[in-house]
Chains A and B, each alone.
Chain A
Amino acid sequence: MSKSPRPSPRDLLGEALAGLAQRPARSVLTMLGTVLGTGAFVAILGLTATAAGQIDQRFTALAATEVTVEDIGGADPADTAASFPADAAARIAGLNGVRHAGVYWPVSPSAPRFAATPGAPANQEELAFVAAEPSALAAARPTLRAGRLYDRFHADRGDNVAVLGAAAADRLGITRLDGHPAVFVNDTPYTVLGIIDDVQRMPDLLLSVIIPTGTALRAYQPPHEQRAKMLIETRLGAAALVASQAALALRPDAPERFKVTAPPDPQSLRADVTSDLNSLFLLLAGISLVIGAVGIANTSLVAVLERTNEIGLRRCLGARPVHIATQFLTESTALGLLGGLVGGSVAVAAVVGTAVLRDWTAVLAPWTVAAAPAIGAGVGLVAGVYPALRAAWIEPAAALRR
């Protein structure tokens, strides 16, 4: 008689689940907030992890070893002097970690006319006319279709030689080099030494007629309207250092005349993606969870008031307040847990689906997936505390009078 009977936990769980199953539509709607919150949480962590993994993969050695230097001139707009010194390539080549560095610029006879034979009608306006140091071409990592590139000696002597991009060669109708063909620019012939099939950097070159800088400086104006640029290929890992030193190495007297662009640090790139997206969307996920908790609390409270009779009856049948509280707490926790499971599953599907669509590799930390039901259950538990206490406090006599 002094020992009080104990209902089995399994039976209490059964009662709670039966309570949920009574009103399936309401249970599902109540779960929605938790589904959204946990789903958003898992999806965000999964998508950012996947995207970050993607950046790592895409961020190849190619991008990580490229530095560009632009001549941006002085503060005075009337100052049109070129900023690159004549020995710019040599100065940069002297820096540690540089493999190739060269200056290039668009050559500017206004409206150049290109043709494969002298006096042919000009219909090649979309082709570009570019002056480039041999080392700039090398830094673009070209593959040749035919012939070869010009070299330092051609450049130094100012020979009338040219290299064609594949597309430019096609438009001009130059396919073979065995007859030593020439390209005529405004009727000046340039012997075509080679045809570039493809480049890994500066794809514009494929549509260009490229001549040595020495040749360009002899025949045309130095660059001033469209200023010169420099392309630097560095060894892996040296890009940041080279970028920091380039301007000063070029012009110790006026480093501010250059704008140096270094590849973004992959580590910081990933951190950017992660932190920007994460903090915003995790905040949204948190808000969804709070809304979910409020939803569960509200529904549970309504359920307690609705089921006052049932509570009174259970007390008549020997239930103690703790049993009543346990039942309602279990209901809300199960609701949260279920919401978390659904939300987590939907999120995993979304992450995997996105990855498949984009041809990415889905990256999902196991703990983020496992966290969804746990978070859901936690939300349900917390949300259920007050309704459960209210239920436990109901006086059986008062409950049955209704």
Chain B
Amino acid sequence: MTPVISFTGVGLTYPGPPPVRALRDASVTVQPGEYVTVVGPSGSGKSTFLNVAGLLDRPTEGVYELDGVDVSRLRERQRAALRGQRIGFVFQSFHLLQYRTTTENVALARLYAGVPRRQRAMTAVEALDRVGLAHRRDALPLVLSGGERQRVAIARALAQRPSLLLCDEPTGNLDSATAENLLELLDNLCADGLTLVVITHDPQVAARGQRTLTIRDGVLHE
């Protein structure tokens, strides 16, 4: 089976001054349907790893194949298209548009793929159903709880129909009960066959994954 993520000697050095080697010589594969967690102290390079995996940053060394395609050779517009169609993102701080309803926020996921408005709205409603927010379709993010907001963000990622869901500290802004709910949702998504990479510094969250990668000073260990 083609791995979803395949890093071979991938590194990223932020040009200084002084230059920061945020990720060095990382070689790792993530198979379809896997639930991988990434832990490490603050500043160790977790977000850098996620940015490279999510095509938000280009690695300065090594080869990255996403679904078997060497993405470092692709042009920017193709990387943008891949980002929109293969990769879903979930962030610690939700990143919802606060003046748009939850449905509009979720529907945004397919806008740049050129999906017609009506179809996007239908997909959005389905995705909201899937995360248990069918009753909050017309709410504005401002009136939602933190847990609900994060579910909207996950619904938005799901609406992209990604082959890979990248989560950077998804429970970072949630209390433990709400976090537990959200982790159950992630478990369900994994059970449905979605590939998950979840960054965290909470050992309990890390334990939910089938595999845990540790990163320290930019160096990745199994």
Residues of A within 8 A of B (CB): 1-2, 4-8, 10-11, 14-15, 18, 21-22, 309-310, 312-321, 323, 395-397, 400-401
Known: A18-B99, A316-B56, A316-B89. A5 touches B78 (CB 8 A): no
Quick check: is B15 within 8 A (CB to CB) of the other chain? no
With a CB–CB cut-off of 8 A, which chain B residues contact A312? 95
Chain B 78-99: CB-based contact to A (< 8 A → 1; otherwise 0): 1011011101010101010101
A318 touches B97 (CB 8 A): no
Residues of B within 8 A of A (CB): 47, 51, 54, 56-57, 69, 76-78, 80-81, 83-85, 87, 89, 91, 93, 95, 97, 99-100, 104, 108-109, 111-114, 116-117, 156, 160
Of all chain A residues, the one with the shortest Cβ separation from B98 is: A22
With a CB–CB cut-off of 8 A, which chain B residues contact A314? 108, 112
B57 touches A397 (CB 8 A): yes
A317 touches B84 (CB 8 A): yes
With a CB–CB cut-off of 8 A, which chain A residues contact B111? 7, 11, 15, 317
* Closest beta carbon of chain B to A123's beta carbon, Å: 84
Q: How far is the CA of A25 from the CA of B23 in the complex (A)?
A: 46
Q: How far is the CA of A88 from the CA of B167 in the complex (A)?
A: 106
- Give 3 closest A-B pairs by Cβ, nearest first: A318-B84, A318-B112, A397-B56
Q: How far is the CA of A313 from the CA of B87 in the complex (A)?
A: 12
Q: How far is the CA of A212 from the CA of B7 in the complex (A)?
A: 119
Q: How far is the CA of A318 from the CA of B83 in the complex (A)?
A: 5
B47 touches A6 (CB 8 A): no
Of all chain A residues, the one with the shortest Cβ separation from B81 is: A4
B95 touches A309 (CB 8 A): yes
B80 touches A318 (CB 8 A): yes
| CB<8 Å pairs between A and B, sample of 27 | A1-B69, A1-B81, A4-B81, A5-B84, A5-B85, A5-B112, A7-B113, A7-B114, A10-B117, A18-B99, A310-B95, A310-B97, A312-B95, A313-B97, A315-B56, A315-B80, A316-B56, A316-B84, A317-B108, A317-B111, A318-B85, A319-B80, A320-B112, A395-B56, A396-B56, A397-B56, A397-B57
* Closest beta carbon of chain B to A389's beta carbon, Å: 16
Q: How far is the CA of A315 from the CA of B97 in the complex (A)?
A: 14
CB < 8 Å: which of A22, A317, A397 contacts B112?
A317
Number of A-B contacts (CB under 8 A): 84
With a CB–CB cut-off of 8 A, which chain B residues contact A315? 56, 80, 83
Q: How far is the CA of A319 from the CA of B85 in the complex (A)?
A: 11
With a CB–CB cut-off of 8 A, which chain A residues contact B95? 309-310, 312-313, 400
* Closest beta carbon of chain B to A322's beta carbon, Å: 9
Q: How far is the CA of A240 from the CA of B28 in the complex (A)?
A: 98
B160 touches A5 (CB 8 A): no
Q: How far is the CA of A5 from the CA of B114 in the complex (A)?
A: 6
A8 touches B114 (CB 8 A): yes
Known: A317-B111, A397-B51. A1 touches B56 (CB 8 A): no
A18 touches B160 (CB 8 A): no
* Closest beta carbon of chain B to A48's beta carbon, Å: 44
* A-B contacts besides A310-B97, A317-B160, A318-B81, 19 pairs, CB < 8 Å: A1-B69, A5-B81, A8-B114, A8-B117, A18-B104, A22-B99, A313-B95, A316-B84, A316-B87, A317-B84, A317-B112, A318-B83, A318-B85, A318-B113, A320-B80, A320-B112, A323-B112, A397-B51, A397-B56
* Closest beta carbon of chain A to B65's beta carbon, Å: 14
Of all chain B residues, the one with the shortest Cβ separation from A22 is: B99
* Closest beta carbon of chain A to B58's beta carbon, Å: 10
With a CB–CB cut-off of 8 A, which chain B residues contact A396? 56
* Closest beta carbon of chain B to A287's beta carbon, Å: 34
Known: A4-B78, A310-B97, A400-B91. A316 touches B83 (CB 8 A): yes
With a CB–CB cut-off of 8 A, which chain B residues contact A14? 117
B81 touches A317 (CB 8 A): no
* Closest beta carbon of chain A to B126's beta carbon, Å: 17
Q: How far is the CA of A321 from the CA of B79 in the complex (A)?
A: 12
Known: A4-B77, A5-B84. A401 touches B47 (CB 8 A): yes
* Closest beta carbon of chain A to B51's beta carbon, Å: 5
* Closest beta carbon of chain B to A1's beta carbon, Å: 7
